[in-house]
Structure 1
């Protein structure tokens, strides 16, 4: 279950790929978080007990009741606030989720908002019914996107964090074709490819274009020219691009730009 991957379209029509976090990783993160909460509550309880022993002789019944209410309210805020605040202001991650390298995001790929985190965690009480988090566990297990009730209400999913977000200090080494693309100053943002045209490309088109691009520098010039013409004949009609007044070099650049565009659609790294 932890191997399932989904594609997400952002409001800007950018295609993102994520690996869904399954029951095992989410349960482990949950145990870590509740262990942290339990330790915190034990410390709070011991502190409260110490204060009550020292103050009980000077407190009347009204003060004792008020103090008890304050303690229970504080405990409630610690439990509920932990998940709400960490997810809302911690990039969708509690401490447990950060350790397990998973996080909560909106279904459109955007970062979870405070309201989304609030809704998600307010419904945690339903997921905990009838005990031992049974409803939540069953929902995560049977739902195709591993959503519990809180996720359904808030419109969120839990995914694995991408490797490059953990290895930000390590600059990724460019492949030969990436160096060639940078040398030619090819930017996919300069090319227009509508949603309809994008959907016309299939897995076999991507595989063919990827083979062309990855072997681009190793193919002899004459063979590369022939390969380029064949690919242009296949790819350009689907993209809605024309070949008018374009040199072989221009066509190569167009195909490499298309490679970058489809790479975001069909190829991703976790």
Structure 2
């Protein structure tokens, strides 16, 4: 138990740093994926491979890379479990990405707007998908 309970809870990452990490992930990972997809499919509009790789990136990289994606690492923030401050597990990331994604889709994006508002307004900066998965996004410790 190297991290310990609650070591990161007083340093939550806010809206703009999380948004910046998301933009960096889109630029560094998303744009090359779209270009490769266009080359492989000849521009047929079939984005299934891009969607699968993007999904696996956001699902698996935080599990294997201590709560980071490339954008989060550059911004100095990471995903941790609220219960113990450790990086997320596969079950945690499935809740965070799949279950929350379904909720965002079923509400036609209204829940995503509520979630972004929560990150901006709440003291703990936790979003809807953080509550669903029991996670938080924190600044890495110096």
TM-score, length-scaled by structure 2: 0.80
Alignment gaps of 5+ in structure 2:
none
**Superposed, which structure 2 residues align to 1:6-25 within 5 Å?**
10=5, 16-17=7-8, 18-25=10-17
Cross-structure match for 1:110: 86
Greater radius of gyration (CA): 1
What is the rounded CA distance, in whole Å, between the counterparts of 2:86 and 2:119 in structure 1? 21
Cross-structure match for 2:139: 160
RMSD: 2.6
Residue 88 of structure 1, aligned match among 63, 67, 74: 63
Task: Provide, for residues 17-51 of structure 1, a one-character-per-residue CA deviation record: whole Å limited to 9, x for no partner.
Answer: 5411111110100111112213312221222107x
Cross-structure match for 2:109: 129
Cross-structure match for 1:43: 36
What is the rounded CA distance, in whole Å, between the counterparts of 1:103 and 1:20 in structure 2? 10
Matched, 1:151 2:142: no
| Bigger RCO (CA 8 Å, 6+ sep) | 2
Alignment gaps of 5+ in structure 1:
1-7, 53-67, 164-270
What is the rounded CA distance, in whole Å, between the counterparts of 2:4 and 2:11 in structure 1? 14
Cross-structure match for 2:24: 32
Assess if the C-alpha contact under 8 Å between 1:120 and 1:151 holds in 2: yes
